[in-house]
Amino acid sequence: MNKKILVTGGAGFIGSNLTAALIADKRVEKVRVIDNLSTGFYKNIKEFELSPKFEFIEGDIRDFETCRKVVSGIDLISHQAALGSVPRSIKDPITSNAVNVEGTLNLMVAATENKVTRFVFAASSSTYGDSQGLPKVEHIIGNPLSPYAVTKLVNELYASVFQRVYGLEYIGLRYFNVFGPKQDPNGAYAAVIPLFFKAAIEKKAPVINGDGLNSRDFTYVDNAVEANLKALFSENPVAINQVYNVACGDRTNLNELWDMISGITTAGIKAQHGPDREGDITHSLADISKARNLLGYTAAIKIKEGLEKAFIWYKKQNL
């Protein structure tokens, strides 16, 4: 198919895993990555330097002219660039909005100018907000509980408007707690699974927010990559201009999660408990039937297998 694809945030966790899959895909002629390296790392994509398919541009999606430059000549966009973390957005909502909303808008405008075929973007399960129903189904959301959740909801609204007004095809992928290789365990806003692996490897007790009964639909990164590939290349007209849950359809609470990681790593350490985290959703579980039926999404790797694969990678790292 000789597709030229832009991956924004391609030096980040999910973006770099997706970039690897796209370079290996015979349908793809070129993979252009843009990243400002604020939360991503060049080491995540260094292995692709020798591939004739690969191009890296260091730049910031908050700059519109940069977006115009990187979108030029592109057929498909997979927009992974974002400033993640609920706590970070509560501490600094202005920067989260600038990256997640203004940056996404810049890309959508550049995409319409350059007649990009399809705009696939990383949405978020945080969009469900205070909706109490389980499992989460795409058409029922609540009120956002954090500035981060607001930015991700706004992305979905903009995508819908750009489709109606400018004809830009889109697919939004609501990720549920993605984890796996290349997810950074360091920094103030690291996610729970890399933090738990770091604690286990260093034989230190992790701190669990609250009583540990909060549950999540933890999703191995290969499942997120699968969803992106299905979204980019889907030829099912009914699947286009939709938002999908990307998860496993199962949930694990934080106490169970630590028990699993402690067992896999043979850490044998009891966790400590701290205060609840502001802006957190209590329980999260996805209905993935829509993605399965319309995109052919399989969510093949479940949490235990995913944790075992992640541990192999973390063991090799100098944490």
Report the catalytic residues: 148
Cα distance between residue 45 and residue 40, in whole Å: 10
Cα distance between residue 53 and residue 28, in whole Å: 8
Cα distance between residue 227 and residue 184, in whole Å: 22
Residue pair 275/87 in contact (Cβ under 8 Å)? The answer is no
Phi and psi at residue 274, to the nearest 5°: -120, -170
- Report which secondary-structure segment, H or E, holds 8: strand 3-8
Q: What angle do CA 170, 26, 107 make, to 5 degrees?
A: 30
User: With b meaning 16 or more CB within 10 Å and e meaning fewer, what string describes 38-59?
Assistant: ebbeeebbeebeeeebbbbeeb
Cis (ω within 30 of 0) for the bond into 206? no
Cα distance between residue 305 and residue 285, in whole Å: 19
Cα distance between residue 97 and residue 88, in whole Å: 11
